[in-house]
Amino acid sequence: MELMEHLPSYYRGNKTMEELQGILTEGTKETAAKFQETLDQCFIGTATTLLSRYEKIYGLTVDVTKNEGFRRERLLAKARGTGTVTKKMLEDTARAYSNGEVKVIENINNNSFVVRFVGTKGIPANMADLTLTIEDIKPAHLSFTFEYTFNTWLDVSDMTWAETKNYTWEQLRVR
Write down the pLDDT at residue 107.
Answer: 93
Instruction: Return the domain boundaries, the chain.
Output: 3-82, 87-173
- Note the pTM of the prediction, 2 decimals: 0.53
pLDDT of residue 125 exceeding 70, the answer is yes
Q: Output phi, psi for 105, to 5 deg.
A: -110, 115
Short-list 148, 146, 150, 122, CA closest to 134: 146
- How would residue 175 be classed by pLDDT, with cut points 50, 70 and 90? low
Residues 6+ apart with CB under 8 A from 49: 41
Summarize pLDDT for 152-174 with one digit per residue, the tens. 777 777 777 787 778 787 777 66
| Segments of the chain assigned E as strands | 102-107, 112-121, 143-149
Tell me the C-alpha distance between 92 and 89, whole Å. 5
Tell me the C-alpha distance between 126 and 4, whole Å. 53
